[in-house]
Amino acid sequence: MLPMFDDVPGDEEAEPQTDTGGETLQDDPRSPDGTYWWHLEIWPGTKKKKFGGEPRIAAWLWFNKDVGELFTMRELREKIGGDVAEDAEHFNRRLRNLRKCGWILPTNRDYSSIPVGYYRLDQKGLRIWLKSEPKPRNAISMKTRRLVLDRDGNRCKVCGVGDGESYPGEPATHAKLTIGHRIPQERLHGRSVSDDIDNLRTECSRCNEPVRDEMPDPERFDEVLAEIRRLKADDRKKILAWLRQGERSRSRVDMAYDRARKLSYEEVKELIARLESQLRD
């Protein structure tokens, strides 16, 4: 088991580790200035570039937890400390973002043997606190992103909001679209199922934000079919039409608005002025 480096005297060094390919990794839990990586605030060699929460979290897990060990969010926040741990929502997001870099961190939702409230370190991913570390191989490419967005009609598949639209009752908001997974990658890994484009879907930043490994699996076909069968014939016809179209039927007014909101800022102002003038006449 790796030593808990919070308790190691400053003049001691980490024991060399060996990766799965047999290469010796001369890892050091301390940055060039002697600070533990997970306590670092500024990137080495820079004066102002902030050392983010994700590399700090990854470094602490790499040097203080073995594969197969458990940890809690509270433990992680206490060890990282500083401004990174102050905002719980942002801290949780940073931990989840490690999955894009090959880190596998399942919870009780994935394996019932894991106690509720705990994460288990199943795989260490990229050492993102080192600038020499390669980029994630499983990152979604721009081509795949474009294919998914086009396929989904540039609308969130969870709540239906379009890119740049405001959320209901919140006119000052503007939705941003991203690519999410229908079934979390950790869950697929636990079932020995490969990830592919069918598991990707368009999500707005809000719907993508919940803790993915705490969300239930997507709807099951047989359950959805049973619910639809209980509807009246006219309602089933509506659903059939919407499914064929890939979205709920939208009026000409809806479609005109979709086009208008994509105009430039100045063009939107001009359109507003012209409509106001027309409606006054």
Tell me the pLDDT of the chain (281 aa) as tens digits.
333 433 332 333 333 333 333 333 447 888 888 889 998 888 888 888 888 888 999 999 999 998 888 999 889 888 887 665 556 667 777 888 887 787 888 787 766 778 888 998 878 888 888 877 665 555 677 688 888 888 888 888 888 888 878 887 777 777 878 888 877 766 766 665 566 787 888 888 788 765 444 455 567 788 889 999 999 999 999 899 888 877 677 778 887 887 786 677 788 889 999 999 998 87
Amino acid (1-letter code) at residue 248: R
Asked whether residue 234 is assigned to any structural domain, the reply reads no
DSSP per-residue string spanning 213-255:
GGSPPPPPHHHHHHHHHTS-HHHHHHHHHHHHHTS----HHHH
Q: How far apart are CA 154 and CA 163, in angstroms?
A: 6
Which residue shows structure tokens 């990137």?
A: 43
- pTM of the predicted protein model: 0.44
Task: Give the chain's domain count.
Answer: 2
Asked whether residue 263 is assigned to any structural domain, the reply reads no
pLDDT, residue 189, reads: 62
Asked whether residue 150 is assigned to any structural domain, the reply reads yes
CA 145 vs CA 158, 181, 182: distances in Å = 17, 12, 15
157: which 2 tokens? 């598949």
Q: Verify that 187 and 95 share a domain, yes or no.
A: no
**Domain boundary, last residue among 87, 120, 153:** 120
Q: How far apart are CA 228 and CA 226, in angstroms?
A: 6
Q: Verify that 184 and 213 share a domain, yes or no.
A: yes
CA 215 vs CA 107, 179, 210: distances in Å = 11, 16, 8
Asked whether residue 248 is assigned to any structural domain, the reply reads no
Instruction: Give the CA diameter of the chain.
Output: 82
Asked whether residue 272 is assigned to any structural domain, the reply reads no
Q: Verify that 71 and 153 share a domain, yes or no.
A: no
**Domain boundary, last residue among 63, 91, 120:** 120
pLDDT, residue 64, reads: 94
Q: In 3D, which of 115, 31, 33 has the Cα closest to residue 72?
A: 115
Provide the sign of the torsion angle of the four alpha carbons 96, 99, 100, 101, taken in this order: positive
Q: Verify that 79 and 112 share a domain, yes or no.
A: yes
Question: Residue 18's domain spans which residues?
Answer: 5-120
Q: How many other CB atoms sit within 10 Å of the CB of residue 218? A: 13
Residues in Cβ contact with 19 at an 8 Å cutoff, skipping those fewer than 6 apart: 25
pLDDT, residue 136, reads: 53
pLDDT, residue 20, reads: 36
Q: Verify that 94 and 148 share a domain, yes or no.
A: no
Q: Verify that 50 and 104 share a domain, yes or no.
A: yes
